Amino acid sequence: MTTTGHTAPEQLSATTLLRFATAGSVDDGKSTLVGRLLHDSKSVLTDQLEAVERASLGRGQDTPDLALLTDGLRAEREQGITIDVAYRYFATPRRRFILADTPGHVQYTRNMVTGASTAELAVVLVDARNGVVEQTRRHAAVAALLRVPHVVLAVNKMDLVAYTEPVFAAIAEEFTAYAASLGVPEVTAIPISALAGDNVVEPSAHMDWYGGPTVLEHLETVAVSHDLSGCPARFPVQYVIRPQSAEHPDYRGYAGQIASGVLRVGEAVTVLPSGRTSTIEGIDALGTGVDIAWAPQSVTVRLADDIDISRGDLIAPSAGLPAVTRDVAATVCHVADRPLTVGQRVLLKHTTRTVKAIVKDIPSRLTLDDLSQHPAPGRLVANDIGRVVIRTAEPLALDAYADSRRTGSFLLVDPADGTTLAAGMAGDSFAAAPPPAPAAGTDDEGWDF
């Protein structure tokens, strides 16, 4: 297949957006994969490539170092490492992509959590020579924890194992079984060589035995999870719009982004946490009246009754309300350098609502390598993942993260200086493993696990 970096507008305007994240350890070739993806999809323009060539030559390298395309900071280029998550953009005629390029280095857990929090797909990179290692399991676990809907296993450096199928098959099988035990709904395994360009954008000439898609082809065709619209509607109120102008003396609209589900004019709704009820009188989609709107549209909702609603409230269909609670049991990834301790007073930011809270308990810390629980650690430090119990000063309309990444997630913030301490996911940590698949061996078409 062929792609072009820039795409005719009439094609692009109808394409959807896929957000994905990459995960890989330092030497797995992640920078090369990202560089290859950008370069081979012709998303690197002449002046960018010239800058890379110039910088590479200046360092005495005789070939352009594609990692320089992505390492944007002075310190990164000086040290040859990636410090922080960067976001990259490219497009093909089929789809537009936002890539969260997460470093595999130190601080990997919080960086991968950051990248994965908005991703609909995660690419986990494995070195074909080493197979599934501790770091691979860590990446799979973070993807599972963050409920990233699609996981791609890219078995890299196939050129260094003579492009042999059994090497790939064994790694794919081991990883898929591990991911399934974490409740990852779907894994697509692809054998690649990022350095040589096999199966990244162009199909490999070295692996006839592989019948599946290239990495880019899979990214272009994977079904983007718009099942957000199938969930119960959730509408966190961001801002109350009251023009009080001569033209609109009585307009009172509740502005926000629909977090999940579909809102319809005429629908009976309840405002939480107050519990007051009304019906949707009108929906304004950025200035245009509509009868129906869905996640993730930003709209303004008008209600039939003049009731007290402000930023932080949640409007939801009366037929499907979330739990309202002051006791939050959740998994958190600790992202700050200072620890989180039992008894600590924090701020909890959930949708558009920020409330005072206290950490009542830290019942366990998760060891990502083997998924064992370390009981009662007392505190969490940077990159730790643990269970917490939090008591809030005001009730929250909270969904389980498993049901909604948008209304089941929260931040813990230090009230003293505003530092983001932890990323929280309400409810159970991992999804239940799916029932075992039918006996293998009946389908040897490709590797679309």
Q: Interface residues for another protein in 392-411 (CB under 8 A)?
A: 405-406, 409-411
Phi, psi of 276 (to 5 degrees): -70, 150
β-pairing, 150-156 with 187-191? parallel
d(CA 294, CA 227): 11
Q: Which is nearer to another protein, 229 or 367 (CB)?
A: 229
Span of 31-39, 45-53, 178-186, 434-442 interacting with another protein by CB under 8 A: 45-53
Q: Are 260 and 351 in contact (CB under 8 A)?
A: no
Give the H or E element holding residue 356.
strand 353-367
Q: Which is nearer to another protein, 174 or 448 (CB)?
A: 448
Q: Which of residues 103-122 bind another protein (CB under 8 A)?
A: 110-111, 113-114, 117-118
Is 222 one of the binding residues for another protein (CB under 8 A)?
yes
CB neighbours of 373 closer than 8 A, spacing ≥ 6? Answer: 364, 365, 366, 367, 387
- In the list 57, 177, 223, 437, the residue contacting another protein (rule: CB under 8 A) is 223
Q: Which is nearer to another protein, 24 or 115 (CB)?
A: 115
Is 290 one of the binding residues for another protein (CB under 8 A)?
yes
Q: Which is nearer to another protein, 165 or 284 (CB)?
A: 284
Is 186 one of the binding residues for another protein (CB under 8 A)?
no
| Residue at token pair 């009246």 | 289
Span of 2-10, 33-41, 132-140, 434-442 interacting with another protein by CB under 8 A: 2-10
Phi, psi of 169 (to 5 degrees): -60, -40
Q: Which is nearer to another protein, 177 or 285 (CB)?
A: 285
Is 150 one of the binding residues for another protein (CB under 8 A)?
no
CB neighbours of 260 closer than 8 A, spacing ≥ 6? Answer: 228, 229, 231, 232, 233, 234, 295, 404, 406, 407
Is 256 one of the binding residues for another protein (CB under 8 A)?
yes
Is 226 one of the binding residues for another protein (CB under 8 A)?
yes
3-state secondary structure of 299: strand
Give the H or E element holding residue 331.
strand 323-334
Span of 89-97, 159-167, 267-275, 427-435 interacting with another protein by CB under 8 A: 89-97
Is 81 one of the binding residues for another protein (CB under 8 A)?
no
The distance of closest approach from Cβ of residue 200 to another protein in the complex, given in angstroms and rounded to an integer, is 16
User: Six-digit token pair at 147?
Assistant: 């409920």
